[in-house]
Structure formats: C-alpha cells, structure tokens
Amino acid sequence: MRASDEHGQSQYKAPTQHWHNGLSIAGIGKQIISFLLGALVAAFVFGGKTQQFTDLLVWKGEVDKTIKVIEKQGADNEYNIRTDVRDLTMLDSRLKVAEEGTKKIDAIIVMRKSERHQVASSLSLKQCADILMT
C-alpha cells in the first residue's frame, strides 16, 4: 500500500490486518507466543525449585534419622562407660582385698621358712634329709 504525502512523495505502509478495536492479529499472536514461552520457562524454574525443595526435605529426614541413631549410640555408650566404671571400682576393691590376703600369706610363708630354718639349724643334716624325703 502506498500513500502520498503533501509533497507528492509516496510512503510505504506495511499491510496489517485489523480487528474492530484496532489490534493486529500478528500483535496478539506475538503476545500469545510470548506468554506461552514465559509460562514454559516459569514451569521449568518452578519445577526445578520444587524438586530442590523436595530433595531438601528428603535429606532433612535422613539427617534426622542419623542424628537419632547417633544420640542413641551416645546414650548407650554413656551407659556402658558408667557400667565399666562401676565394674572397675568393684574389681579394684576386690583386688585390694586379695592383695591384703596375699601379704598375710607372704608373712605366714616367711614365718614358716624361718621356723624351718631354725628347726633345720638345730637338726643334723641327716635328720633334715629324712624330713624332706617324707
């Protein structure tokens, strides 16, 4: 389409199709395509964020389970340590009693050895040999 201006020169106008309100069909088509592309991009972005959020929730659940297991193991270990300390305390007291008994036995053995030595010194060598053989 050509239109003339006041000086007689022609200007070119691109042909457009108009609706009754003056909007072009090509303009509306561009807006629809633009909207659809925007919606598609938004769906990818929102879908990715939703997946990340879901992954975060799954990870949090796994971490919560792990923490509960660690806390239970810590409580069990604390109980085991307390039990071991109690057992060691009991064993220590039993060991002290056994050591006291051993000292008394050592003292008795030393006394008997000295008695044997006194008896042996008063006996003759032949008498000592006879005592040892019996």
SS3 assignment, position 4: strand
Largest CA distance in the chain: 165
Nearest by Cα to 68 from 58, 57, 79, 60: 60
pLDDT value for 1: 47
Mean pLDDT on 1-9: 54
Q: What is the dihedral of CA 61, 65, 70, 71, to 10 degrees?
A: 100
CA gap 6, 41 in Å, rounded: 49
Token pair, residue 84, equals 């071991």
Domain that holds residue 82: 2-133
Q: Which residue has the higher pLDDT, 63 or 125?
A: 63
Residue-wise pLDDT for 89-130, tens only, equals 888 888 888 777 777 776 777 777 766 666 556 666 666 667
Mean pLDDT on 36-61: 86
CA gap 19, 54 in Å, rounded: 48
Domain count, the chain: 1
Q: Is the pLDDT of residue 45 over 80?
A: yes
